[in-house]
Amino acid sequence: MNGGAIQRRAKDLPSMVASAGLIPALTFYMAKASEDRFKEFLELLGSRDIGKINCQHIREDLEDGEGAGYSPLLALAIKALSEHNYINHVEDYVALARELQKMRERGIEELAAEQVVLGYLLEVKKLADAFFGKENMHPREA
């Protein structure tokens, strides 16, 4: 478990948001992420009782497999949007797509939401570098 996928996605998503825009970046991550894993991460982020959550796939996103790392970063971005009332709480991709479409229709709000999410994502990038950076790995994993 090296966290390389999360570290790469934490580096890539803020750049993608800045260059392509918030909604195109999030829909790209939706296409790459596993919806089941996304739901698990979203539930984990919103729970006060983590012990009751099925976290079987979370370890998979810490590995370097196909599609790894997209789900947690997407869930973090969506949670930030929800916490700041840019979108309503979502539980699946259909609801998420609907909320992103509403945000796109509201126009100027998308730019403000982008700045909020970028702030969170840059902090997540710092945390991913701190937790998963080469200098913090066990010598056998480096």
Helices vs strands, H then E, count in the chain: 6, 0
Its sign, for the CA torsion 25, 13, 46, 36, is positive
Q: One digit per residue, pLDDT tens: the chain, 142 residues?
A: 467 888 899 999 999 999 999 999 999 999 999 898 898 888 888 776 666 556 666 666 666 677 888 999 999 999 999 999 999 989 899 999 999 999 998 877 888 999 999 999 999 999 999 988 864 443 444 4
Task: Map out the domains of the chain as residue ranges.
Answer: 4-136
CB 72 within 8 A of CB 6: yes
- Residues 6 or more apart whose CB falls under 8 angstroms from that of 26 comprise 17, 74, 77, 78, 100
**What 3-state class would DSSP assign to 88?**
coil
- Residues 6 or more apart whose CB falls under 8 angstroms from that of 79 comprise 42, 45, 46
**Is 3.30.450 the CATH number for 4-136?**
no
Q: Is 133 exposed, middle or buried (0-12, 13-18, 19+ CB in 10 A)?
A: exposed
Distance CA 72, CA 58 (A): 8
DSSP state of 56: T
